[in-house]
Each structure stands twice: as structure tokens, then as C-alpha cells.
Amino acid sequence: MWLPDWLSPIVLNCRGRERLRSRRKSACLRSAAVEAAILIAGLACASPAQGAGGKVLLTRKYRLGQSMVYVTKVRTNSKVNSNPPELKEFFPPMPTDLRLNQQSTVTVSKVSPDGAADVQHRFDKFEIQTDLGTLPPMIRDSVTQAQTEVSQRMVGQTLIAHYDHDGHLLDFEGADNLFRDIDAPVKEPLVQMVRLFLEQMGGQSLYPDHRVKVGDEWTQKLDAPPSGDYQFQESGKSTLQYSGKTRYQGIKAAIVDYHFENALTPALEGLRKEGVLPQLEAQGVKLDIQISGKGEGRVLVALDDGRVLQNHYTLHQTLNALMKSAAGIAAPADVVPRLEIQSDTEMEVDGSKP
């Protein structure tokens, strides 16, 4: 298009101003976008699940009425050795392969002012199986009957677990009625499986007392005195590491990897009431027992209240029982009566909303 000489500067100047306005408009839009991104990032940093510097606070906060459904699978393989081999006959026969499949609904029924809580564990499904091939026929029949009775009795039943504000299991109620009349080869391993499950559900020895960032480690002592239904002195240490965040069924979760070592020493006074120990002592024999264990696993905990969402781990335990006369050990070490039980346990716990 042709323009007169006197009009060209005016038109060009107007076009220049228009281009300038366009550039300013684009710059303003870019600035607004940057400011919005900064604002969004700032809001994300202010989220309760994350503190300054990317640190998180992992702590258990019980909420009255809160409920979760957990599916649990446990498998324990055991091996018994003794010197001499006949020594095993002094002790009750035990299953070498024990499997437990269960589903339970866990509900917080009471929260104390100090943060402790009572938690109901209702068993919706409970199946226990053992490898009975190595047991004598009479024992095999008795164990089979006991397994059936336990499975039928447990479904619909509820245990009440008492936890402190850090998720440590203090004790639990309801087991006496559930496990009454159950033979020893099944009862004791079963009670300990249930105890182990309740400990893991509370997050026992899991939470640090400070904020942590990815890669941070902390330790927890595993010391505990004997209790009424658990006659063992426990000592040990657990080392945990915050490995990052994830989402589990839509819930923001922290990933915690851990490994631990522990030792259990029987409180013999509590064990003298029944079983083989009084019989041995009546023959002038003393028994030194210790159980040592090592394990590792990974747990997912909710970032909002620390409840356990998932826990998978493995555990290896060894029981050593050394028999000696009241006057002490007179025989060489290689001929001292000794019993050893090794067990490997795998546990998988997966939670979901009801």
C-alpha cells in the first residue's frame, strides 16, 4: 500500500506503539505465569505433610473411629537341631512350616489425653495351616483339629490392643478366650504371630522424635521387660531410614526402610509353672536359653497421621538352649547337650479403607 510522505511517520509510529504494547502484554502474561508458578510452589511447600527444607514429621496420631482393613500373610519355616539328636524328644513336637492368612478390620475405639489409644482388631478371615508330615500321627490329628477350631473361632472375634502415644504395644485382651484348649504345638506360635501382627500395626519402634529428610537415619531401642503373657526379656536395636514419598491407594505416604537385631531371654520364673523346664530341673539340670533375631523390611506410613498402610519384612531367629548340671558344665563343649531352633518368617501386610 502506498502512503504519502507526511503520513508514513505517523503510521509507523502507531504501529511501533502497537508492537510495543503487544510486547508489554506478552511480558505481563509471562510475568503473571511466573508469579502463579511461584505461588503454587509456595503453597506446596506450606503443605502440612512437608516442612522447611523438604523435611517431614512422622508421628502417630490416633483418631477416634478411624478404621482400616488389613490383609496379612505370614509364613514361618523352622528347623530343629539337637546334640545329642535324642534331646529333641524331651520337647513337645512343633510344626516346621506354619502359614497364616487373615483379614482384619482395625478401628480406634478410644484415645486418651496423652495420645495413647485402644484399638479393636476384628478378625474377618483367619486361616492357619501347618506342615504336619514330620509329626507323629496322634499329634498330627490333634494339630489338624486345633487348626480347624482356631480358624472357626477367630472369625468374627475381636482383640483389644493397648498402644502408647508412640505406637508401642503395651498389651492386648481377648487372646485367652480365643486360644483356650489349643494344644501347645500350635498355641504358642499362634500367640506370638498375633503379638507380632499387633506390634507391626501400631508401628512399634518406627517413628523418629524429629523431622527427617530423604536419606536420614534414626535408631530405636527394642528393650522391653517380660509381661504377663510374654515371659521374655527383650533387647535390641532397630535402624530406620526415610527413603522418600509415594502414594498408596491415593494416600500420601512416607517410605521407611529398616533393619533390626534383637535378643530374647526367657524369664525362667514365669516359665517354671508348666512345660518341660520343671521336669529338667527336678533331674538337676539347668537350662540357659537365648533367642537372637535379625530382620529387614519396608513400611509405608500415612503422612497425615502416621498410620501403617503397608509393611513387608523378613525375620530370621535362632533359639539356643544349653543344658548343664547344677554344678556347671563338666563336659567338653562339643558334647554339651544343646538344642537349636532356627526359624525364618515372612510377613506381608496390606491395608485399605473399609
DSSP 53: G
**In b/e form, how buried is each residue of 47-58, taking b as 16+ CB within 10 angstroms?**
eeebeeeeebbb
Residue with cell 510475568: 31
Contact 93, 130 (CB under 8 A): no
Cis amide bond preceding 84, omega within 30: yes
Which of 312, 347, 314, 305 lies closest to 68 in space, CA to CA?
305
Q: How far is residue 46 from each of residues 28, 42, 216, 243, measured CA to CA in Å? A: 27, 6, 21, 21
Strand, coil or helix: 76: strand
* Residues in the chain, overall count: 354
Residue 196 Ramachandran class (φ > 0 left, ψ -120 to 50 alpha, else beta): alpha
In degrees rounded to 5, what are phi and psi of residue 258? Answer: -150, 155
DSSP 252-314: EEEEEEEEEEEEEEE-HHHHTTSSHHHHHHHTTEEEEEEEEEEEEEEEEEETTT--EEEEEEE
Cell of 99: 502359614
Cell of 199: 506390634
Integer Cα distance of 183 and 197 in angstroms: 21
Look at residue 25 in the predicted model and tell me its pLDDT: 41
- How many angstroms separate the Cα of 329 from the Cα of each of 89, 153, 266, 324? 22, 46, 20, 5
Is the CB of residue 81 less than 8 Å from the CB of residue 240?
no
Nearest to 109 by CA among 154, 172, 151, 155: 172
Spell out the per-residue pLDDT of the chain, length 354, in tens: 333 333 333 333 444 444 444 444 444 434 444 433 333 333 333 333 334 348 999 999 999 999 999 999 999 998 888 887 777 776 666 667 888 899 999 999 999 999 999 999 999 998 888 776 666 777 777 777 777 877 888 888 899 999 988 788 888 888 777 777 666 655 666 677 778 778 877 777 789 989 999 999 999 887 777 766 566 778 889 999 999 999 999 999 999 999 999 888 876 665 545 555 566 666 666 777 788 999 999 999 999 999 999 999 999 999 887 777 655 544 555 567 788 889 999 999 999 998
- Which set of grid coordinates corresponds to residue 224? 522391653
Q: Tell me, what's the pLDDT at 240?
A: 95
